[in-house]
Chain A
Amino acid sequence: MTTATLDAPAPPVTPMARAPIEHIAIICSKGTLDMAYPGLILANAARMSGIDATLFFTFWGLDIVTKKTVDHLHVPTVGNPSMHIPTMLGGLPGMESLATTMMQKEMVKLDIPPVHELLEILSDSGAHLYACRMAMDMFKRTKDDLVPQVEDVISAMDFFDKAAGAQVLFI
């Protein structure tokens, strides 16, 4: 490599210079409130930008789309270093509800909708929501246990068919 090459200015990178993302497929595998929002918000931001969005809820992520749990997701206070409180304190009764209430209040301030409403928005926006068949069998849930925005219960192989051409994100 010559000095001239090193000194050459880098070519300008504009947002349009790279191929835009056209489809994002997000695997939601966690059922805590703090891990539910990233996938849902990212999918919503994608749809708002005209990007196709496919969501696959698996393992604990099923709680996000289960009728009984969708409005009762919690912020974990144990084993969560970002809480910045000693783990022993995090385990005290009431700590988890306190942290959850505090986070929900902040969400309301920022006008971020509750999870069930975000699922409705996503469905209305044309995002596709699927539940993982294996996880459903494992947790003994049926399609009736899920919120109506979930289109279908599918296998991981089906998911990859539906994720054709997508950037896949695991959360």
Chain B
Amino acid sequence: MLREYRGHEVTVNDEGFMTDPTQWTPEIGEGIAEEIGVRLTPDHWKVITFCREDAAREGQPPGLRRISKLAGVGTKELYALFPKGPGKLAARVAGLPKPHGCV
């Protein structure tokens, strides 16, 4: 289905995850964050940028343990940045699919 963020139309699945990461722009990321009630700070961007870079390298979005280990943002901090569930929401704001991993 189509959804509009900040005047840009993107395709999303029924859980709200973008289906084509190449459509993503930081502006769209801000729009998605607004939708889930998160105001993006530099720390959020550190996570989002890592997720996008890692997904481009690995072919799949990183799990939380990977983010905390490699992006240098601790577990507690990740939950403070995305209180409603960093496992899903970091990937969603970054325009990536829902991660498969459980850690």
Contact = CB atoms under 8 A, between A and B. Distances in A.
Contacts of A48: 63-64, 85-88, 102
B85 A51 contact: yes
Contacts of A50: 83-85, 88-89
Q: How large is the interface on B (under 10, 10 to 19, 20 to 34, 35 or more residues)?
A: 20 to 34
Contacts of A118: 103
Contacts, number: 52
Given A16-B14, A113-B65, A124-B76, A49 B103 contact: no
B72 interface: no
If over half of A's interface residues share one DSSP class (helix, strand or loop), that class is named, otherwise mixed; here it is helix
- The range of chain A's interface size is 20 to 34
B14 A15 contact: yes
Contact of A45 (B14, B76, B87, B89): B87
Interface in A116-160: 118, 120-121, 124-126
Given A14-B14, A48-B63, A124-B74, 7 more contacts: A15-B15, A41-B103, A50-B83, A111-B101, A121-B65, A125-B75, A125-B76
Interface of A: 14-16, 41-42, 44-45, 47-51, 111-113, 118, 120-121, 124-126
